[in-house]
Amino acid sequence: MGVSLSKGGNVSLSKTDPGMKNVLIGLGWDVRATDGQDYDLDASVFLLADNGKVRSDSDFIFYNNLRSADGSVEHTGDNRTGEGEGDDESIKIKLDKIPADVAKLVFVVTIHDATVRKQSFGQVTGAFIRLVNDDSQIEVARYDLTEDASTETAMLFGELYRHNGEWKFRAVGQGYAGGLASVCQQYGINAS
Amino acid sequence: MINLSLGANIVLNQGVINIKINSGLPVDASAFRLFANDKVKDDLDMIFYGQPKNQDASIIWQQTHNNNHEFRVDLTKLSAEVQKIAFTITCDQYSPISQLKNLSIQLDCNNEVIALGEVDINNRQEKALIMGEIYRRNTEWKFRFIAQGFNGGLKPLAEHFGVNVIDEPTPPVPTSTVNNTTTSSSVNLNKISLSKDRTSVSLSKRNDYGKIGINLNWNKQEQPTKKGFLSEFFNRSPNIDLDLAAFVRLKDQSIHVIQALGNCFGSFQSPCYVELMGDDRTGANQDGEWIYINGSHWNNIDEVLIYTFIYEGLPNWSQADGVVRIHVPDQPVIETFLTDGNNSNILCAIARLKNDNGAINVERINRYFRSQRELDYAYGWGFRWSAGRK
């Protein structure tokens, strides 16, 4: 049972799902049924230090860097069309393996080449991103991208952050202009 | 008013919404009423010029001026099973939407524009487009601006909504066989049959309808295939002779009878722009009888009423097994079978083609009369009749 999230709403993972150790971020969407270029959605994670920046480029986990150096975060691979049932891309996080100097994990969903292809989430059928307890498969939070981020091309889904010794999840639901590159810049990565 | 970007959605707070599709050039517009899995259940779920209204009147189509279409949707009348209504357009078979002047979908409520979605048609190759959809979201109705479609036109569009299309793309035609269990229905796009439960078809507006052909054919009777040259002088055969005929009213209100009886064959090139081609006395001519309407002059024509009558032979309609087919260029053939007539009546009014603001509205009549005079009287034409023999 997922928690209904308003923008900025906080969910304490230890309260909603005490003892959660493994988190899965699932991104799903339907293959385009109409003619035109495919919708290629990407899920990414930034591991941020206290200063709100990455420690190094390897803290940016995405389709070209599927695994964090310490193995705490793993992306299961790029899906370029949405083919398949359920989650089409997923990122697995082992909470207790996250290094102590990582204060926060930020989850971002973007549409690849959205500007060139003139695409936004609202054009994609059945697009969602969700956070799941990967041990119990209980869905903790879900965001309907098609419906609630319809005019966006990039969105900060939410963040996991440390608070008094436990991990909390904050739903953000904030759109970005400029795609993944502008998100990278914000967190201290020069992307090209 | 909200300008909708692609994919954007809005909540609909009103019960009755008017959806307007503007294209600048002629397009066909259809609404698909969709159930579970975003599929239609049967052919009642398609609302378009050939079926301007569904059974609960929740969706009503009308063509407004300047090639525009309008759908009036009463959300309060939609059954609980209905999940979505998709509004679509299809272009002329051979041109993609980039050839249109513009393309937009507008939502009005109480004569006020509440939202507008304008399609950037540059370089777009689709010949059929889903303009937008009204859909359920939790307890609300919402509208989404979609503007996505299919390069292949109507066929892939119809299939997308669960309509199994058999033939090549022509305008959607509600003659499908229904299969509710698989939620797929089958539509024959080739031919419109006007039957008792479907009495009117409007062909979308254009300037030149070309040569409109009306054909009457009937079963030739058993007879020797070789006829002596003298037979023409003894034309008292017991065979049925069916005649094809028409009443024509021009825009100048002049009325004309086109029929072999009285040698009123008319003229294709000059008023009244309707001509009967010869007279098949026996049904032996494989091609039957033809009346042609000069569709290039459709703007001069107000109405053409097509009828057929048994000139000679027993009035036995089922034995004659007649069929009248109306051929409008680039349009499905419209056909009427003359098999259910009352044998005491020798004349059958087939259909009327009415000029409806430049469009051809074909209305099936299929009523039987005892004489031209009676037909004339029934439809208020005002001819003066005297007995004749050809």
Summarize the confidence of residues A62-87 as an average pLDDT: 93
Q: Between residues 88 and 107 of chain A, which touch chain B (CB distance below 8 Å)?
A: none
Same fold across B2-189 and B211-379: yes
Q: What is the model's pLDDT at position B195?
A: 44
Domain membership of residue A175 as a residue range: 10-186
- The residue in chain B having the minimum alpha-carbon distance to the alpha carbon of residue A123 is B7
Longest alpha-carbon distance in chain A = 51
Q: Evaluate whether residue A97 is within a structural domain.
A: yes
Closest CB to A36: pick one of B148, B152, B156: B148
Q: Across the interface, do A123 and B151 touch by the CB < 8 Å criterion?
A: no
Residue A192 is assigned to a structural domain of this protein: no
Which parts of chain B register pLDDT below 50? 168-199, 222-237
Residue A124, chain B, CB below 8 Å: the answer is: yes
CATH number for the domain spanning A163: value is 2.60.60.30
Q: Are A149 and A180 in contact (CB under 8 A)?
A: no
Query: Cβ distance A110 to A127 under 8 Å?
Result: no
**Cβ of A4 under 8 Å from any chain B Cβ?**
no
Cβ distance B125 to A147 less than 8 Å, yes or no, reads: no
For residue A1, being part of any structural domain is answered with no
Specify the pLDDT at position B227.
38
Cα separation, B112 vs B96, whole angstroms: 31
Give residue-wise pLDDT tens across range B20-69. Answer: 999 888 888 999 999 988 999 887 888 988 788 888 889 999 877 767 89
Instruction: State whether ipTM is beyond 0.90.
Output: no
Asked if B22 and B102 touch (Cβ cutoff 8 Å), the reply is yes
Domain chopping of chain B, boundaries? 2-189, 211-379
pLDDT digits (tens, 9 = 90+) for A152-178: 999 999 999 998 888 888 888 888 888
Is the model's pLDDT at A129 over the cut of 90?
A: yes
Can you state the percent helix, strand and coil of chain A, rounding each to 5?
A: 15, 40, 45
Cβ contact (<8 Å) for A118 and B6?
yes
**Predicted local distance difference test score (pLDDT) of residue A106:** 96
What are the chain B neighbours of A119 within 8 Å (beta carbons)? 6
Alpha helices in A87-171 (DSSP H): 114-117, 145-148
* Rounded CA separation A60/A105 (Å): 10
Question: How is domain B2-189 classified at the CATH fold level?
Answer: Lipoxygenase-1 (2.60.60)
Which letter, b or e, does each residue of A78-94 get, where b requires 16 or more Cβ atoms within 10 Å of its Cβ? ebeebeeeebbbbbbbb
Q: Looking at the domain assignment, is residue A122 inside a domain? A: yes
The enclosing H or E element of B6 equals none
Q: How many domains does chain A have?
A: 1
Give the per-residue pLDDT at B367.
82
Q: Is A5 among the domain residues?
A: no
CB A108 within 8 A of CB A183: yes
How much is the average pLDDT of A120-139? Answer: 93
**Interface contact B150-A35, CB threshold 8 A:** yes
Best mutation target, B11, B91, B144, B157, to test chain A (most A CBs within 10 A):
B144
| A93 lies in some domain | yes
Nearest residue of chain B to residue A153 (CA atoms) = B7
**Which DSSP symbol is given to A30?**
P
Q: Which residue is closest to A127 within chain B, CA to CA?
A: B7
Per-residue pLDDT tens digits for A14-61: 556 666 789 999 999 999 999 999 999 999 999 999 999 999 999 999
- Whether A4 maps to a domain, the answer reads no
- Per the domain annotation, does A79 fall within a domain? yes
The confidence score (pLDDT) of residue B286 equals 65
Return d(Cα B262, Cα B243) in angstroms, integer: 12
User: In the CATH hierarchy, which top-level class contains the domain B211-379?
Assistant: mainly beta
